[in-house]
């Protein structure tokens, strides 16, 4: 049992004891109450044990259906039923243990972290919190909005955003990827996860989620079944299982009455055996295992599944909507060219652009400085001394600097720049505006973003100098994954607030099926609703605050780890390493989980067919010797046939645990051949395994005296 589990990393040897004990703990009827099929098995086991204890006092085992049962038969059955129950609870324990062990370290760390909270944090005056007083608090007491300082080597106490500083963070325990990642203030890499370790530098972090609601803690909770909500297919499954279970219970309860005119009654332990062997115990026990297994498979690949329901939906997704920035493209755009307007000097443009970017903390700003430096244009510290930086705001959509000499420099979107010029009293002449428009359109067509540089000297009119060409960089893995998604039958749509032409260029380069440019957050939401009304199941990948409503509306909201906390809160899944390649994994794991359930059901149904033949003829062969003709496996005796079937039922569950955890391979092959293969493999093995298994057990049992 242990070798396949160990080999697949299911369990470490130290965890095995714990899992075994946990499995026994699950015998508690209050726990089994939520899983009626297992509860029924337990009731049967208790009943049979009581009968076994009572038997010596009432004159030995009762004959059943005209056959005399061998000594110790009732005890053997009782032990068999307990084994069946144990195998079932073991399955759940293993799955839960697996989910737990992955997050155990954090739990330990989470208990002992001391956080350094900043008192009276002032963002504008003391961003790095060097002068502020720090107080030590328990990480569990941190509230959203608190600001903490994390020194190199410390563990980050809770989810949050970096306000100041940059550091290498080890997220490997969390994402499963070796190697550190950079997290820094400004730009799109501000999000840090509680429980990860700061390897290099001092950081100031604003906490975005309390310990209880942190993404990690929620996963831990999901991993333990008590808080896990049943997903729709699981509920549908439960209905079907309940129906099958009821029918077998009904058969057993009515059996003696129905045959009473011609046959003596079948004994209670054997009626219990009928129920325990035929009800779908395997499926009832393994259903939750497949759910947990799917989630931990994704987690090992670096995707945090917050709702188990969404994983089930994942396999059915027909449309995926991407937000452009951060999902399709790397969040930071890079400056690749300066385009001076006619009559302007290229070096001048570079110098102004660089000046405007010196105080700009964003990666775009840094890339502008880099590009200017390549042409040996580097602003001196004296140039900007005494200047007043103007940070970017969503309202003005423009940023820059007011120099000490009175010159104001701005860079921003074309329309915003023109508006600013008008505001400072300059109406740019028509030819200039036309030229600006021509250049910006040209840049947008290639998927770039134009940034217009304008300035207003202390004296004299303002003017436009030129355009900075920022280029979106598509993430390396994107085009390949888009193709894979297409192979999975999924339509991809990119939505962005960028210019239509930019959207077109980027989506063409990435191979995305459709694009929507110039869209507001409301447009994204409306697009999702429209798709859903047409019967599509929509996944949405996004990271901005603006994406939150869309993420919540989508059937699955997938946020990148660098996303704002609002977006993460609305999402069902978080891609921890920001690699959109995992979208393919999510869909595949979703489908694989379904296919595994289908395989288990098929296997179980085929199993039952064999069990009819081993159980039912044995019931009445004592009265109707002719029924021996139906004993197709030629089992040794009625008692042996029944006992072998019971023992087989407990063993088969243990065989199935690794299958449920690992899942059946999902290949995106042609559906007909996939159906054929799954039906044949599971149907035939479902017939063959019990035929061989029960026969072998019967051969062993037949050696016992009396059987």
Report the residue number, 420 or 603, with the smaller CB distance to other proteins.
603
State in angstroms the smallest separation of the CB of 552 from other proteins.
21
Report the residue number, 120 or 533, with the smaller CB distance to other proteins.
533
CA gap 181, 163 in Å, rounded: 17
Q: Where are the beta strands (DSSP E) in 165-300?
A: 166-170, 180-184, 191-192, 197-198, 203-207
State in angstroms the smallest separation of the CB of 604 from other proteins.
11
Report the residue number, 294 or 517, with the smaller CB distance to other proteins.
294
The encoded tokens of residue 485 equal: 């998604």
Q: Is 523 a catalytic residue?
A: no
φ, ψ dihedrals at 207, nearest 5°: -75, 130
Q: What's the gap between Cα 357 and its chain centre?
A: 39
State in angstroms the smallest separation of the CB of 601 from other proteins.
6
Burial environment of residue 610 by CB neighbours within 10 A (0 to 12, 13 to 18, 19 or more): buried
CA gap 328, 185 in Å, rounded: 22
Q: Which of 159, 198, 323, 698 is catalytic?
A: 323
Which of 138, 142, 204, 193 lies closest to 169, judged by CA?
Answer: 193
Report the residue number, 148 or 298, with the smaller CB distance to other proteins.
298
State in angstroms the smallest separation of the CB of 235 from other proteins.
5
Report the residue number, 537 or 575, with the smaller CB distance to other proteins.
537
Report the residue number, 220 or 556, with the smaller CB distance to other proteins.
556
CA gap 541, 608 in Å, rounded: 44
CA gap 163, 205 in Å, rounded: 6
State in angstroms the smallest separation of the CB of 306 from other proteins.
20
The encoded tokens of residue 102 equal: 């992955």
| 392 close to 362: Cβ distance less than 8 angstroms | yes
Report the residue number, 66 or 144, with the smaller CB distance to other proteins.
66
State in angstroms the smallest separation of the CB of 209 from other proteins.
32
CA gap 230, 248 in Å, rounded: 24
Report the residue number, 446 or 532, with the smaller CB distance to other proteins.
532
State in angstroms the smallest separation of the CB of 299 from other proteins.
20
**Distances in Å between the alpha carbon of 94 and those of 173, 217, 258, 601, 694?**
20, 20, 42, 20, 26
Interacting residues of 207 by C-beta distance below 8 A, sequence separation 6+ = 142, 143, 144, 145, 146, 147, 148, 157, 158, 159, 160
Which of 192, 216, 184 lies closest to 107, judged by CA?
Answer: 216
State in angstroms the smallest separation of the CB of 315 from other proteins.
5
Q: Ramachandran region of residue 459, left (φ > 0), alpha (ψ -120 to 50) or beta?
A: beta
Catalytic residue numbers read: 323
């Amino acid at each position: 049992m242990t070798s396949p589990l160990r080999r697949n990393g299911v369990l470490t040897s130290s965890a095995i004891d714990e899992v075994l004990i946990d499995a026994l703990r699950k015998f508690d009827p209050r726990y089994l109450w939520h899983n009626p099929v297992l509860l029924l098995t337990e009731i049967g086991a208790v009943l049979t044990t009581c009968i076994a204890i009572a038997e010596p006092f009432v004159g030995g085992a009762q004959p059943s259906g005209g056959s005399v049962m061998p000594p110790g038969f009732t005890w053997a059955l009782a032990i068999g039923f307990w084994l069946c129950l144990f195998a079932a609870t073991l399955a759940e324990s293993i799955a839960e243990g697996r989910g737990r062990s992955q997050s155990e370290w954090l739990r330990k760390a989470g208990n002992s972290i001391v956080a350094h909270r900043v008192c009276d944090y002032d963002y504008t005056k003391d961003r790095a919190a060097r002068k502020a007083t720090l107080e030590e608090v328990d990480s569990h007491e941190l509230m959203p909005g608190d600001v903490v300082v994390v020194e190199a080597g410390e563990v980050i106490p809770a989810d949050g955003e970096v306000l100041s500083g940059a550091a290498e963070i080890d997220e490997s325990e969390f994402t499963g990827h070796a190697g550190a990642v950079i997290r820094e203030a400004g730009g799109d890499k501000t999000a840090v996860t509680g429980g990860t370790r700061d390897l290099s530098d001092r950081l100031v972090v604003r906490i975005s989620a309390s310990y209880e609601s942190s993404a990690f803690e929620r996963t831990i909770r999901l991993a333990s079944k008590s808080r896990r909500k049943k997903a729709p297919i699981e509920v549908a499954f439960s209905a079907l299982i309940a129906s099958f279970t009821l029918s077998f219970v009904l058969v057993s309860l009515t059996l003696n009455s129905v045959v009473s005119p011609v046959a003596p009654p079948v004994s209670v332990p054997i009626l219990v055996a009928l129920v325990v062997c035929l009800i779908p115990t395997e499926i009832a026990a393994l259903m939750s295992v497949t759910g947990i297994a799917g989630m931990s498979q994704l987690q090992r690949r670096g995707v945090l599944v917050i709702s188990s329901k969404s994983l089930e939906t994942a396999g059915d997704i027909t449309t995926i909507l991407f937000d452009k920035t951060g999902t399709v493209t790397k969040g930071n755009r890079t400056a690749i060219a300066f385009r001076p307007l006619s009559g302007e000097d290229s070096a001048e443009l570079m110098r102004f652009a660089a000046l405007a970017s010196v105080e700009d903390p964003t990666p775009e700003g840094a890339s502008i400085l880099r590009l200017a430096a390549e042409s040996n244009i580097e602003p001196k510290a004296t140039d900007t001394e005494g200047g007043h930086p103007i940070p970017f705001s969503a309202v003005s959509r423009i940023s820059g600097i007011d120099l000490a000499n009175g010159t104001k420099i701005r860079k921003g979107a074309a329309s915003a720049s023109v508006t600013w010029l008008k505001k400072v009293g300059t109406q740019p002449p028509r030819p200039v505006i036309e030229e600006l428009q021509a250049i910006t359109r040209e840049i947008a067509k290639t998927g770039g973003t134009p940034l217009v540089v304008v300035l207003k000297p202390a004296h004299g009119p303002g003017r436009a100098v030129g355009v900075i060409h920022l280029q979106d960089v598509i993430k390396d893995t994107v085009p390949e994954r888009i193709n894979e998604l297409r192979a999975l039958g999924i339509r991809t749509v990119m939505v962005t607030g960028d210019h239509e032409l930019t959207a077109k260029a980027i989506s063409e380069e990435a191979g995305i099926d459709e694009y929507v440019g110039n869209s507001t957050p409301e447009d994204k939401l409306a697009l999702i609703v429209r798709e859903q009304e047409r019967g599509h199941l929509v996944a949405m990948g996004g990271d901005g605050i603006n994406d939150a409503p869309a993420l919540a509306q989508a059937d699955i909201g997938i946020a990148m780890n660098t996303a704002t906390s609002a977006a993460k809160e609305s999402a069902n899944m978080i891609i921890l390493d920001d690699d959109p390649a995992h979208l393919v994994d999510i869909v595949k794991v979703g489908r694989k989980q379904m296919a595994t359930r289908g395989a288990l059901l098929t296997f179980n149904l085929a199993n039952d067919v064999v069990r009819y033949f081993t159980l039912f003829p044995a019931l009445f062969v004592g009265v109707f010797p002719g029924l021996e003709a139906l004993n197709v496996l030629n089992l040794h005796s009625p008692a042996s046939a029944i006992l072998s079937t019971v023992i087989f039922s407990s063993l088969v569950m243990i065989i199935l645990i690794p299958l449920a955890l690992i899942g059946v391979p999902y290949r995106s092959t042609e559906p007909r051949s996939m159906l054929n293969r799954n039906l044949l493999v599971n149907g035939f093995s479902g017939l063959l395994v019990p035929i061989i298994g029960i026969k072998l057990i019967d051969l062993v049992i037949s050696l016992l005296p009396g059987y």
